[in-house]
Amino acid sequence: MATGDTTYSKILLDESELPTQWYNLVADLPEPPPPALHPGTHEPAGPDDFAPLFPTALIEQEVTTQRYVDIPGGVLDVYRLWRPSPLFRARRLEALLDTPARIYYKYEGVSPAGSHKPNTAVPQAYYNHQEGITKLTTETGAGQWGSALAFATAQYGMECEVWQVAASYRAKPHRRTMMQIWGATVHSSPSEVTDYGRSLLAQDPDQPGSLGIAISEAVSMAVADPLTRYALGSVLNHVLLHQTIIGEEALLQLAKVGETPDLLVGCTGGGSNFGGLSFPFLREKLAGRMSPTIRCVEPAACPTLTKGEYRYDFGDTAGLTPLMKMHTLGHDFIPEPIHAGGLRYHGMSPLVSHLHEQGMVEAISVPQTECFAAALQFAKAEGIVPAPEPTHALAAAIREALVCKESGQEKVILTALCGHGHLDLASYEQYLSGQMVDYDLPDEQISAALQGVPILD
Amino acid sequence: MATGDTTYSKILLDESELPTQWYNLVADLPEPPPPALHPGTHEPAGPDDFAPLFPTALIEQEVTTQRYVDIPGGVLDVYRLWRPSPLFRARRLEALLDTPARIYYKYEGVSPAGSHKPNTAVPQAYYNHQEGITKLTTETGAGQWGSALAFATAQYGMECEVWQVAASYRAKPHRRTMMQIWGATVHSSPSEVTDYGRSLLAQDPDQPGSLGIAISEAVSMAVADPLTRYALGSVLNHVLLHQTIIGEEALLQLAKVGETPDLLVGCTGGGSNFGGLSFPFLREKLAGRMSPTIRCVEPAACPTLTKGEYRYDFGDTAGLTPLMKMHTLGHDFIPEPIHAGGLRYHGMSPLVSHLHEQGMVEAISVPQTECFAAALQFAKAEGIVPAPEPTHALAAAIREALVCKESGQEKVILTALCGHGHLDLASYEQYLSGQMVDYDLPDEQISAALQGVPILD
C-alpha cells in the first residue's frame, strides 16, 4: 500500500522481496537445547543414526549452529508459486469486536496445498532430489502434510507414497483425491504393503489405524530401499528452520506499515507453524529491538505444554525414533478425536519445548467449541474460512482483543492463519448443528500416560 | 517484481492500484445489443418491470450507456479482502508443455468464496443495503454463486436465503455448510417454504429440483416482501459490468511486464467470468491499441454459442423472466450432468451473444475428459487445483500452446482461472478412477429443444 495509507487490508511483498535465507534460532539461544538420544544406547544421536531416513543436507540442518541457511534457487522457484504470502490487517474483525487492538494475520492458506506445510515439504523434496533420491514416503493424519508432500514431490518429478491413517482415509476421501491429483500413491494405514501393516490387518481387518502405525509403515518402506527416504512434517529442527520464512516475511510486512507487535499467538501441534512465525521475532526480541509476548495456543484436549512434562520421550508410539527432550503427555497418549487433527500430537518440538522451559514463550489451552465460535466470527468478518488448527490462535487473539476492549489498550496482535478450512467443512457442520463437544482431560489420565515414558534425567 | 526481472511467477498489484471504476463495454460498441422484452407484451422491458426484483442502482446499471461506473467505497473496502487478485505466469506449465508460448492466468480463487462470483455479489449486496433492503434471495446449483452471495450479505449485515437445487443440496453438503458459516439460510429446492415448492413436493417428495425451479422459488419469496430482493449471479449486463474488475487489473498487470496478449481464452456458462476478463481488452482492441483473438470455451455437452441459435428466449425454464436475445439451446434444454455445474446453462449473456454475432469473439467447445486431463497437467505444474469450469479455458490454452510448439510462435496467451476446485474433488476422484464420460449431443436434440422457443424476430 501507499505510504501513510490507513485503509489497507493486506500488506503484500513483491517476489523480489522474498527472503532468501531461513533463520536458525539455535545460533542465538543463550543455552542450547538438549540433544536427541539414540533409542537403544541413550547416547546423543549422531548423523549416522539419521542417514537411512533423511538426506545429508537435512541432517546437517538438523544440527547446524549457523545463524542463517541460504534457500536454494530451486526451492525459491517453487516458493514463488505462492510466496511471499499476504499479511492481513483484520480491520473488519476489529470493528466486529469493537476493540482498540490492531490484529494482523499472516495467511498461509494461499499455498497450493492450503497450509504452511509446503514451506518445508518443498525443500525436503528438493534436497532429496539433489542427492539422487527418487521417492519419498510419509504418513498423514488430517491430510495436510500428505498433500503438501505430494505437491512438493511433483515439482521435482519424484514419487510420493503416503500412509493415511485408516480412519482419516475413510472419513476424508477428498484429501486422498488431492494427493492423487499431484501424483501420489495413497495407502490406508495399516496397509497390505508392509509386514507390520499386514500383521495388524490379520488381527483386525477394520483396524482404524493411528499416526504411530502410519509412521512405522512409511519408515519401514524408506529404510528398505536405497533410493527412498522418509519425510517428517513437523517437530524437528530442520522443519522449523524452513518455516521461518513465515516470520521473516511478516517482519518485513509489519515494518512496511511501521508496526511492532505486542503479542504473537500461534497454534501448536508439533510446533512448526508456531516456530515459523515466532522465531524471527524472538531473534529481534533477544537483540532488544522489540519485546513482544509470545504465546503458544494448544487444544484443551491435548495440552502438551500446559499440562505435559518436560522430559525425554519418543516421537512415535512404537518407540522407534530417537528420544527427544520435549513437553510430552506420554508417547502412548491418544488424544480425543478433536477436529484440529493437526494438533493431536502427544509431544512438542524440542526447540519450542526448550523455549517454554526457558520462559521465552508462554502457553495456554483453549477448548474446541470456543475455537469454532471464534472461527465463525472471523469468517463472517474477514471472509476466509479457517482450518480447525489456526482457530485456536484466532480464539486466543480474540480473547486478547476483548481484554484490550476493557482496558483501552491499543495492542498490536500478530497471529498465523496457517491454513484454510475448505476440506474441513464437515467439522463446521458439526459445530453449526450443535453437536460439537469439548473433552475434559483429567490430570490422572495424563499421569497414567506419562508412566510409560523412560526416565533419563 | 523488479523491472527487468525475468523469473517472476506472479504479478501483484498493490491495493493502491485497485481499479476504482467498472467498465461498460456497451458504451463502445459499434451497434448496441437488442433490448430485453417483457415476457407478456413482448415490448422492450422498462425499469418498472425489474423494480420488484432489483434495486434502482442495479436497474440503472443494467441499461446505462456510461463508459465507466464508479465503484463505491463501501464495495472497495470489501474487495480489498482479496483484490487485486494475482496474475500468474505459468512458467512451469510452459516447461511441461515445452512450448514457446507465454501463458498467463488471472486467478480468482483467492476470494473468500473461492471464485470470481463475489466480484458482483458484493456490489449487489451493497446497493440493496443502501436502498434499505434487508434480505436477498437467490438460487444456486453447483453452489459457487450461493456461497458468494452468503459471504457478500454477511459484509453488510443482511440476511440471505438460498434455494439450492435438491440434487446438489444432497450431493454437496459442504457447499451448504460454507453458506451457513457466513450466516445464510439454505433450502433444498423444491422446498416447503413456497407454494410452488410445496406443490412439486406433493407430486414427488424425492424430486431432484432444477435451477429453473430454484429461481422460481427465490423470485417468489423476493417479490412477496418489500424489504427483500432477488440477486442473479451471471447473464445480466450489470453482473458483467462488475466482473470487468478482472480484466482491468489484468491489463495493469500485463503492462507491468510489458506484455500484450495475442489470445484470450475464457470459459463461458452465463458469460460473466468471460466478459469480466475480456471486455477491457475488447475496449483496447476497438481503440486499436492491441489486437488479441478472443475465444469463448464452452462444454461440448452444453454448446450454447457453437451449436445454439441466436434468438429471443427466456432466461429461466418456467418462462417468467424477460425475453433476451441470446444464443440458446432452448429454455427447456437440460444439459447432461457434467461436472462443470456452473456451465450448465441453456442460454448465454445477451452481451456476449451479441459480440459473437458481430464476430468480435469466437467460440469453441471442449469435452470434459479433455478438460480434466488439462487440469491434472496444470495442477502438477502450477500447484493450484482448478474448479471444473475453468478447466475448459485451461484445455483451450493448452491446445493453443501445443499449436505454438509446432509452429514455433511465441504467442502470449491470457486465461482466467476463475476458481479453485477444493469443493469439487469428487469430480477429480471420478476422473482419476476412469469413470468420467463425455456426452455426445446430437443436433436433433438441439433442434427439438429449440422448438419451444417463441419466434420474435
DSSP at A442: -
Q: Of A91, A12, A414, give the one whose Cα is nearest residue B16.
A: A12
Residues of A in contact with B153 (CB under 8 A): none
Residues of A in contact with B151 (CB under 8 A): 383
The backbone region for A380, taken as left when phi is positive above 0, alpha when psi lies in -120 to 50, beta otherwise, is: alpha
**Which of A1, A173, A182 lies at the smallest CB-CB distance from B380?**
A182
How close is the nearest chain A Cα to the Cα of B298, in Å?
A: 23
pLDDT of residue A200: 92
User: Does A181 contact B385 at a Cβ distance shorter than 8 Å?
Assistant: yes
pLDDT of residue A457: 64
pLDDT of residue B211: 82
User: Does B177 contact A384 at a Cβ distance shorter than 8 Å?
Assistant: no
The size of the A-B interface in CB pairs under 8 A is 139
Residue A251 scores a pLDDT above 90:
yes
Residues of B in contact with A379 (CB under 8 A): 112, 181-182
User: Does B385 contact A422 at a Cβ distance shorter than 8 Å?
Assistant: no
Report helix, strand or coil for A55: coil
**Which of A155, A380, A385 lies at the smallest CB-CB distance from B178?**
A385
User: Does B426 contact A182 at a Cβ distance shorter than 8 Å?
Assistant: no
- Residue in chain A closest to B386 (alpha carbons) equals A112
pLDDT of residue A212: 80
- Residue in chain B closest to A429 (alpha carbons) equals B177
Residue A4 scores a pLDDT above 70:
no
Q: What is the arrangement of strands in the sheet containing A185-189, beginning at the earlier edge strand?
A: A185-189, A159-165, A135-140, A228-230
Q: Residue B336: which pLDDT band, with cuts at 50, 70 and 90?
A: confident
pLDDT of residue B311: 95
User: Does A12 contact B14 at a Cβ distance shorter than 8 Å?
Assistant: yes
Domains and their CATH numbers in chain B: 10-21+70-114+238-450 (3.40.50.1100)
pLDDT of residue B455: 76
How far apart (Å, rounded) are the C-alpha atoms in residues B298 and B390? 10
How far apart (Å, rounded) are the C-alpha atoms in residues A116 and A112? 10
Give me the mean pLDDT over the B277-292 stretch. Answer: 98
- Residue in chain B closest to A158 (alpha carbons) equals B380
Residues of B in contact with A384 (CB under 8 A): 112
Q: Residue A356: which pLDDT band, with cuts at 50, 70 and 90?
A: very high
Task: Tell me the per-residue pLDDT of A310-354, one tens digit each, with 9 for 90 and over.
Answer: 999 998 877 878 899 999 999 888 888 888 888 888 999 999 999
Q: Of B370, B398, B311, give the one whose Cα is nearest residue B346.
A: B311
Residue B2 scores a pLDDT above 70:
no
- Residue in chain B closest to A430 (alpha carbons) equals B177
Report helix, strand or coil for A415: strand
Angle, helices A118-130/A237-256, rounded to nearest 10 degrees: 130
**Which of B15, B382, B429 lies at the smallest CB-CB distance from A177?**
B429
Q: Residue A455: which pLDDT band, with cuts at 50, 70 and 90?
A: confident
How far apart (Å, rounded) are the C-alpha atoms in residues A64 and A82? 28
Residue B132 scores a pLDDT above 80:
yes
Here the cell at position A117 is: 506445510
Residues of B in contact with A3 (CB under 8 A): none
Give me the mean pLDDT over the A89-110 stretch. Answer: 97
Report helix, strand or coil for A228: strand
**Which of B14, B181, B432 lies at the smallest CB-CB distance from A376?**
B181
Q: Of B308, B358, B368, give the one whose Cα is nearest residue B333.
A: B308
Residue A70 scores a pLDDT above 50:
yes
B87 and B250 in contact (C-beta within 8 Å)?
yes
User: Does B16 contact A1 at a Cβ distance shorter than 8 Å?
Assistant: yes
Q: Of B292, B273, B274, give the one whose Cα is nearest residue B282.
A: B292
User: Does B15 contact A10 at a Cβ distance shorter than 8 Å?
Assistant: yes
Residue A275 scores a pLDDT above 70:
yes
How close is the nearest chain B Cα to the Cα of A167, in Å?
A: 19
Here the cell at position A301 is: 484436549
Measured from the Cβ of residue A68, the count of other Cβ atoms closer than 10 Å reads: 16
User: Does A9 contact B428 at a Cβ distance shorter than 8 Å?
Assistant: no
Residue A171 scores a pLDDT above 90:
no
- Residue in chain A closest to B157 (alpha carbons) equals A380
Q: What is the dihedral of CA A387, A392, A393, A394, to 10 degrees?
A: 70
**Which of B15, B111, B181 lies at the smallest CB-CB distance from A9?**
B15
Q: What are the beta bridge partners of residue A135? A: A159, A228
Task: Tell me the per-residue pLDDT of B193-237, one tens digit each, with 9 for 90 and over.
Answer: 999 999 999 999 998 888 888 988 999 999 999 999 999 999 999
Q: What share of chain A is helix, strand, coil (3-state, %, to 5)?
A: 45, 15, 40
- Residue in chain B closest to A109 (alpha carbons) equals B110
Interface pTM (ipTM) of the complex?
0.95
Here the cell at position B17 is: 492500484
pLDDT of residue A1: 42
How far apart (Å, rounded) are the C-alpha atoms in residues A313 and A331? 7
User: Does A8 contact B154 at a Cβ distance shorter than 8 Å?
Assistant: no
Residues of A in contact with B148 (CB under 8 A): none
A3-18: burial string, b at 16+ Cβ within 10 Å, e else: eeeeebbbbbbebeeb
Residue A397 scores a pLDDT above 80:
yes
User: Does A426 contact B379 at a Cβ distance shorter than 8 Å?
Assistant: no
How close is the nearest chain A Cα to the Cα of B178, in Å?
A: 7
pLDDT of residue A441: 87
Q: Residue B6: which pLDDT band, with cuts at 50, 70 and 90?
A: low
Give me the mean pLDDT over the B369-386 stretch. Answer: 98
pLDDT of residue B440: 81
Please state the length of chain A. 457
Q: Residue A209: which pLDDT band, with cuts at 50, 70 and 90?
A: confident
Residue B266 scores a pLDDT above 70:
yes
Residue B3 scores a pLDDT above 70:
no
**Which of B151, B379, B423 lies at the smallest CB-CB distance from A383?**
B151
pTM, two decimal places: 0.96
Task: Tell me the per-residue pLDDT of B166-176, one tens digit each, with 9 for 90 and over.
Answer: 988 988 899 99
DSSP at A307: H
User: What are the backbone angles phi and psi of residue A23, rounded to the nearest 5°?
Assistant: -110, 130
Residue A304 scores a pLDDT above 80:
yes
Give me the mean pLDDT over the B35-59 stretch. Answer: 92
Contacts of B374 (CB under 8 A, 6+ apart): B391, B394, B395, B397, B398
**Which of B8, B12, B376 lies at the smallest CB-CB distance from A12?**
B12
Report helix, strand or coil for A21: strand
pLDDT of residue A449: 85
pLDDT of residue B112: 97
Q: Of B269, B337, B275, give the one whose Cα is nearest residue B297.
A: B269
A377 and A420 in contact (C-beta within 8 Å)?
no
Contacts of B300 (CB under 8 A, 6+ apart): B365, B366, B367, B368, B438, B439, B441
**Which of B177, B423, B425 lies at the smallest CB-CB distance from A432?**
B177
User: What are the backbone angles phi and psi of residue B178, rounded to the nearest 5°?
Assistant: -60, -45
Task: Tell me the per-residue pLDDT of A422-453, one tens digit each, with 9 for 90 and over.
Answer: 999 999 999 999 999 999 888 888 888 898 88
How far apart (Å, rounded) are the C-alpha atoms in residues B433 and B35? 47
**Which of B8, B15, B174 lies at the smallest CB-CB distance from A1?**
B15
Report helix, strand or coil for A309: strand
How close is the nearest chain B Cα to the Cα of A185, in Å?
A: 12
Q: Residue A393, CB half-sphere, CA atoms under 13 Å: how many?
A: 32
Residue B252 scores a pLDDT above 90:
yes
Report helix, strand or coil for A172: coil
Task: Tell me the per-residue pLDDT of B117-130, one tens digit each, with 9 for 90 and over.
Answer: 999 999 999 999 99
Residues of B in contact with A9 (CB under 8 A): 15, 77, 80-81
pLDDT of residue B457: 64
Give me the mean pLDDT over the A80-85 stretch. Answer: 97
Residues of B in contact with A114 (CB under 8 A): 422
Report helix, strand or coil for A159: strand
Task: Tell me the per-residue pLDDT of A172-202, one tens digit each, with 9 for 90 and over.
Answer: 899 999 999 999 999 999 999 999 999 999 9
How far apart (Å, rounded) are the C-alpha atoms in residues A121 and A115? 11
pLDDT of residue B5: 55
Measured from the Cβ of residue B96, the count of other Cβ atoms closer than 10 Å reads: 16
Class of residue B43 by CB neighbours under 10 A (exposed 0-12, middle 13-18, buried 19+):
exposed
How far apart (Å, rounded) are the C-alpha atoms in residues A443 and B141? 50
Task: Tell me the per-residue pLDDT of B401-455, one tens digit each, with 9 for 90 and over.
Answer: 999 999 999 999 999 999 999 999 999 999 999 999 998 888 888 888 898 887 7
pLDDT of residue B270: 93
Largest Cα span, chain A: 67
How far apart (Å, rounded) are the C-alpha atoms in residues B144 and B7? 34
Residues of A in contact with B1 (CB under 8 A): 14-16
